Structure 1
Amino acid sequence: MTLLSVLDQTPVIDGHTVADAIAATLELAQLADDLGYTRYWCAEHHGLLAVANPCPEVMLARLGSMTKRIRIGSGGVMLPYYSPFKVAEQFMMLEALFPNRVDLGVGRAPGGDMRTAQAVAAGAYNRGDVFAKQVSELVALLNGKPLPDQPGYGVVLQPQVDTRPQVWMLGSSDFGGQLAAQLGLRFAFAHFINAYFGHHLGVAYRERFQPGHESKPYLAAAVFAICADTEEEAQALEKAVDLRRLQMAYGLNLPIPSLAQGAAQSYGERERLVIDREKARSIVGTPDTVTERLIELQGQFNADELIVLTVAGSYKARLRSYELLAAAFELGRAKPAA
């Protein structure tokens, strides 16, 4: 049975407010909980008009209080901005609130441009130069075994509870997979960012895995997918995705295009080349088409789980997409979380 999870960027669709985007996240989390998805992750971004969650740890407290069984987590916390000790405190508090339901996914990307990154980090953004050291310190803190040369050594980490969040390494290159294997961490590969050779990194992660924080490897592939009832609806949704991909390629800081904007847009030859280049990062179609492709990707990655990111030009279409996938994969309401 395929495990499916949700990655949510709290997208802001053109013509809607940030309040609308946050309300859509809350609605989707409750739906995912009811439908039987395994986990619900929130991403961290800064300074972008298209996505509205700079602090997943705050959102997770809300989501945990309004869901019953689904795991909640960060996909992820951008660790170069923060003290590992403070991140450990935040997620131990979440674990105290929602025992055995919390995931701590960490990454090293800025989640925005470099000017914004420096603003977030008070002018001291380290670009991930000490990321491996930060992750090692974070894992040691959560294991209750900080080393003498680490800042958390000899300091009480609160809240002191018996359970611990799951720790995940996130990445779209071989760096994340290698570090996850070295430290014995779960690894989530961002196929929606890098669609061309991720399955090779998944193989390397499993081959190089050394028991550490986890006793055995666990791999998830994070995939962009939109599922629609009809091919006509899928094509309309894909037009908005095409426009968004073009905006991102040109570095435009704009909200997510609406379905109407996608339908009205026309492209020249150069723009079409950019859009075609980005097609591999998305799966858009009817349930049969999307399900077939997702199962194929799971096989290529030998993935234990698929994490689905859906950014559509309509909040209603996004909800419907996750409903259709849940039905296609027969998730069921009673399936336990992994």
Structure 2
Amino acid sequence: MKLKLGVLDQSPIGRGETAATALQHTLALARAAERWGYSRFWVSEHHDSKSLAGSSPEVLLAAIGAHTSRIRIGSGGVLLPHYSPYKVAENFRVLEGLYAGRVDLGIGRAPGGMPLSSRALRKDSPKEPDEHFPQSLRELAAYIGKGERLEPTHPFAELNASPHVDTTPEVWLLGSSIYSAAVAAQMGAGFSFAHFINGEGGQGAVRDYLKHFRPGPLGDRPNVSACVFVICAETDEAAEGEARLTDLRLLYLEKGQFQQPFPTMEEANAYPYCDWDRLRITENRKRIIVGGPSKVKKELESFADSYRTNEILVTCIMSDFNKRVRSYERLADLFELLD
């Protein structure tokens, strides 16, 4: 079966760029992804960040939908523990009303930022996310029109989410653990493993998801995808040069240096790497596919086979927007997405 590719875009803010420029780049990339034949275009949610501009996927999706006409658009993802399921349902009913039949509601449970932003987003909820996540999903399913009505004794049993539209979004749970896979299987949602966050255990999580999947309030058939960092350059050597910058960027993040701009080659060459740094770089490379076209094609096909799926989401964060665009364009050509 032909491999389908989707895009996860995090609206990265390049060195010397503004957040407004990064958002315009996201719109331009969405239009290009549609032209090139990508299956989906998802946007992420991050808070209190000077390096990623996408803090509100619902708002950004409204703009992306207006700039495209065919490609599926979705959240990768809405961080449900921060929000009221009722409000999330209404946001995505609006999106379905605007762009019927091509909206994906991807749901995550990560904080999307540091503890201070999490406290600000859910200041009235003292519970930890896992304590109420399954119940929040059931409420969301009822409001969005995919699940049964809430129990008559529920305080919001009489509520209906508006607007009342004829279609509902496709629902995915996004995760980097076995827990997320288990909840997706129990609730009937699609499952997308965030391999770009956790390079270990994804294939096992997908096996468990497929084994235990049952139709539920969020869907009636299993859907699987996985998301991975990809750096596809004109040659293996050029890709490795670019990957060195990503290696340092991931090190910065692991050391809590979240506000650092994307590294330059000069910084990567001058950085005083210790043994721990080199170990982390080796480990982080499990999250990234790096190479020229032929190497990347072979590795992406093997990656998809390992996940038992014919659809992979790719995220190409590179030092320059034009290089990022060319990476996506090369992938589209390699996999003949328009055929």
TM normalised by structure 2 equals 0.94
Structure 1 residue aligned with 2:335, among 318, 325, 329?
329
Q: For 1:56-205, what aligned pairs fall within 5 Å after superposition?
A: 56-122=57-123, 124=125, 126-128=127-129, 129-143=131-145, 145-148=148-151, 149-205=153-209
Say if 1:240 and 1:261, in contact at 8 Å, map to a contact too: no
Q: Tell me the CA shift for residue 120 of structure 1.
A: 2.1
| C-alpha distance in 2 between matches for 1:291 and 1:262 | 30
Secondary structure in 2 matching 1:130: helix
| C-alpha distance in 2 between matches for 1:125 and 1:322 | 42
Say if 1:13 and 1:258, in contact at 8 Å, map to a contact too: no
Q: Show the counterpart of 1:241.
A: 246
Q: Show the counterpart of 1:275.
A: 281
Deviation per CA, 1:133-185, whole angstroms, max 9, x where unpaired? 10111112222632124444212321111111111111100111001100111
Question: What is the aligned-residue RMSD (CA, Å)?
Answer: 1.6
Secondary structure in 2 matching 1:251: coil
Secondary structure in 1 matching 2:76: strand
Say if 2:252 and 2:260, in contact at 8 Å, map to a contact too: no
Say if 2:248 and 2:268, in contact at 8 Å, map to a contact too: no
Say if 2:9 and 2:42, in contact at 8 Å, map to a contact too: yes
Residue identity opposite 2:175 in structure 1: G
Q: Show the counterpart of 1:24.
A: 25
Q: Tell me the CA shift for residue 270 of structure 1.
A: 3.1
Q: Which runs of 5+ in 1 are unaligned?
A: none
Structure 2 residue aligned with 1:297, among 282, 293, 303?
303
Residue identity opposite 1:175 in structure 2: Y
Residue identity opposite 2:316 in structure 1: T
Q: Tell me the CA shift for residue 245 of structure 1.
A: 1.1
2:270 is the alignment partner of 1:265: yes
Deviation per CA, 1:235-294, whole angstroms, max 9, x where unpaired? 221111011011011111224424445554332333222212211111111111111111
Q: Tell me the CA shift for residue 72 of structure 1.
A: 0.5
Q: After superposing the two structures, state which structure 1 stretch, 226-235 or 170-179, moved more.
A: 226-235
Residue identity opposite 1:146 in structure 2: R
Deviation per CA, 1:44-72, whole angstroms, max 9, x where unpaired? 11112221111000000000000110011
Task: Give the aligned length.
Answer: 333
Runs of 4+ aligned structure 1 residues displaced above 3 Å come to 123-127, 149-152, 258-266
| C-alpha distance in 1 between matches for 2:128 and 2:298 | 38
| C-alpha distance in 1 between matches for 2:127 and 2:24 | 33
Structure 2 residue aligned with 1:220, among 204, 217, 225?
225
Say if 1:146 and 1:152, in contact at 8 Å, map to a contact too: no
Residue identity opposite 2:98 in structure 1: L
Q: Tell me the CA shift for residue 127 of structure 1.
A: 3.2
| C-alpha distance in 2 between matches for 1:285 and 1:122 | 44
Residue identity opposite 1:156 in structure 2: N
Per the alignment, do residues 159 and 317 of structure 1 end up closer, same or farther by CA in structure 2, a change over 3 Å counting?
same
Say if 1:240 and 1:313, in contact at 8 Å, map to a contact too: yes
| C-alpha distance in 1 between matches for 2:80 and 2:223 | 21
| C-alpha distance in 2 between matches for 1:215 and 1:22 | 35
Deviation per CA, 1:171-230, whole angstroms, max 9, x where unpaired? 100111001100111111101111111101101100000012322211001111111112
Residue identity opposite 1:314 in structure 2: D
TM normalised by structure 1 equals 0.94
Q: Show the counterpart of 1:39.
A: 40
Q: Tell me the CA shift for residue 123 of structure 1.
A: 5.8
| C-alpha distance in 1 between matches for 2:294 and 2:81 | 41
| C-alpha distance in 2 between matches for 1:235 and 1:125 | 45
Per the alignment, do residues 52 and 313 of structure 1 end up closer, same or farther by CA in structure 2, a change over 3 Å counting?
same
Per the alignment, do residues 282 and 141 of structure 1 end up closer, same or farther by CA in structure 2, a change over 3 Å counting?
same
Residue identity opposite 1:10 in structure 2: S
Q: Show the counterpart of 1:306.
A: 312
Say if 1:40 and 1:72, in contact at 8 Å, map to a contact too: yes
Q: Tell me the CA shift for residue 311 of structure 1.
A: 1.0
| C-alpha distance in 2 between matches for 1:180 and 1:201 | 11
